[in-house]
Structure 1
Amino acid sequence: MRKWLRFLGPLAIIAIAAFLLRDKMPFLAGGYQEVLEANNFGLFLALISTLASMVAMAEVMRQLLQAGRSKISIWKTLELTFVANSWSSTFPGGAAISTVYQYQTMRKWNVSVMVSSWFIIVSGVLSTLWLVGLGLVAVMFLGASFSIWPLLGTAAVMLGIASLVYLATTHPKTTSKIICTEVRAFNKLLRRDPDRWIPEIRTHIRQLNSVYLPWRRFVVVAALSLLNWLLEIISLWLCIWAVTEQLPGLERVGENPSFLGVVLAFVTSKIVGTAQITPAGLGPVEAAMTASLVAVGMTASSAFGAVFVYRILTFALMTILGWIIYLISVARGGLKAGRTT
């Protein structure tokens, strides 16, 4: 009974989500004609770029887990990347559900609590830092009227956190002393036992000794994290080409935006999508991306068509693939469990 619930549960959840999103169907129908008229070769290249971005993300996971001395194959991390993406993009607030799923899966792989948490923090910080950096480049060189101070502040914070995480990883003894000192001061302020939580903290931080992240691997991980975003941007770039038959270049030409304009539209939509009021920001993300592309030169119809086919590839198709992989992996696990009983 439990195996059936485990297998059919996600299908029931997906059916409920589809029912709640039934009012979004006119948006899908409205872009149908744009899909039919799009350049199939351009869409194929965009699909390849999207899949490559998922591979880059999976390799970030593999490299960081290897730094924690957990040798996990690229196929396992790729499977987890697709499934976690589907959890994130299917439900409102799905990013939190996705993070929990990633953590639980890594624990099943016998990855320690510290290394699992460390991976989630480092990968998240690097991803956010690069997104902010891309936004800064687009704003500064595109000459858009946009306040860059919030972005600069966010970039400084992310860079500081990334540096602290790297230093904490490479200097666990110093990290333990600093954290224990702060915890003791906090306990004294609350008039509690000064050593409350200290043994647990030392136990977890001691596990950082199992993490070895030399600067060369850190650079590789950072480059892969950036590549993940660049490949997604290239996918949008190619979708614009598929719809308009014009490939955005270094400068805006008439109704054809520049590549930096495409970057700015991408970053803007990602910022809007972080709220995840709807699954994967469905609705607000399309509106923000379309409006941004219009602002950098595209016509409304072309921008809408490009955004539609882009979201079909990066949202709908990747989510479907992730759920298929999830159901296959659950079914495989259920069959194995059945053989052992």
Structure 2
Amino acid sequence: MPRSNLLSYLYICVLGALLIGPLAASALAQQPQPVAPASPTPVQKAKIEEAYKLLDSNDKQAIAMMDQLLAADPAFELAYYVRALAKGQQGDYQGALADINKCSALNEEGSRSLRVRALLNMDAGNYSDAVRDFQKYLGITVGEGYDIHGGQYSGTGIEILYYAIALAREGKDDTRTLNTMMMAFHQLPDDDDKLYAAYYMWYLHARNGRHEQIKPNLKALVDTGAHALAKSKGAETKGKPDKKDLRIGRYLVDEISKDEYLSQVEAAPADTLARALCEAYFYIGAREMIAGKRDSARTYFQKALATRQQKAVERLLSAAALQQMKTEDEAKAKKPEPATKSP
């Protein structure tokens, strides 16, 4: 799940719980969902469901349908919500944020808009705003270097994971980010999700020169996943890592070389190749950065961006890494040269 489009997950969880019912959507939501303050009419409900189905194939038509609903009823909260999702899919993050804010204003008690607004703020580069939205949604009180909450966060492991990624993109507090990532790791239900969370933790440690610290734990997870895969004779099992999940870890723990890793990725099916390359370029870039090869690291991070995998976590982290490197280079350029003593 973390490497997929979380917005798609939210479409299913929220719209399914509100409107679609038997689409098995509510089974995916791991907590009770808010109820709309006013039930939609049968016509409105049909239009919302139709637009929802169009989100991955025809965003423009979905937006046009919501425009019609809002022309007839400017206070129809769900139309703003769905139009925000469609605009987000198009990359119109400011328009999407405007719509989700209208949705939130019409239903101040509802929490679903907070989750989507947090993700839209991440896409728009408003990382501190995204962090605040996640904190409000998850019911977090911020402490020194960690987050305090009475018991567990109110969100799912996936949502906590994306909060940790928002913290990573904000780049202000790696300790809080790692603690949050660890909490997500323990709440994620599936082994393949846990493995990806471990990959992200490896990167956060690596950014601070502590990647060797997590390497034994990561190797144990990779070995466990490989054993389960061998036991299933290579058959994919729901919630368990498969070959494409494990190749990242095998590269990070030095079981395969960079060339072997890229060779495996380039053999991926056409429909998953761009996603696999985005992952590979990010992790190779991270290792190049650790080795002090900044120019090579920059090249791989830029390649990750060029895959255009807009919602991929690795693309988000590649953009953050490039920004971090740019900031470091600018600071170094401004630093005055040490004065030399005259003979």
| Interval containing the TM-score (normalised by the shorter chain) | under 0.3
Name the TM-score, length of structure 1 as normaliser.
0.27
Greater fraction helix? 1
Q: Larger relative contact order (C-alpha < 8 A, sep ≥ 6)?
A: 1
Name the TM-score, length of structure 2 as normaliser.
0.27
